Amino acid sequence: MTPRWVLPVRYRGAPLLVFSSVLFAVMALCTRLLSGRLSPGQVASGRFLIGLLFLAAYYPAMGRRPRFGRLPLWVLRGVFGGAAVVVVRALRHETDAATVFLSFCLFGLLFSLPFALHDWRPLGWDVALPLLGVGLTSVVAQMTFTYAFGYVTAVAGGVATQLTPVFSWVLGAVLLGEAVSPLAVTGALVCMVGVLWGTGMLERWRATPARTAP
Q: What is the residue-wise DSSP string for 106-128?
A: HHHHHHHHHHHHHT-----GGGH
Give the pLDDT mean for 69-92: 55
Residue 205: what pLDDT? 56
Q: What is the mean pLDDT of residues 5-32?
A: 82
Nearby residues of 38 by Cβ (< 8 Å), 6 or more positions away: 46, 121, 123, 127, 131
The answer to whether residues 51 and 142 touch, using CB atoms and an 8 Å cutoff, is yes
User: Which one of 18-32, 84-98, 156-170 scores highest in mean pLDDT?
Assistant: 18-32
The pLDDT of residue 83 is 46
Q: What is the pLDDT of residue 46?
A: 92
CA 108/CA 120 separation, integer angstroms = 17
Return the top range by mean pLDDT from 33-47, 82-96, 154-168: 33-47
**CB-based contact 66:102 (threshold 8 Å):** yes
The mean pLDDT value for 21-26 works out to 88
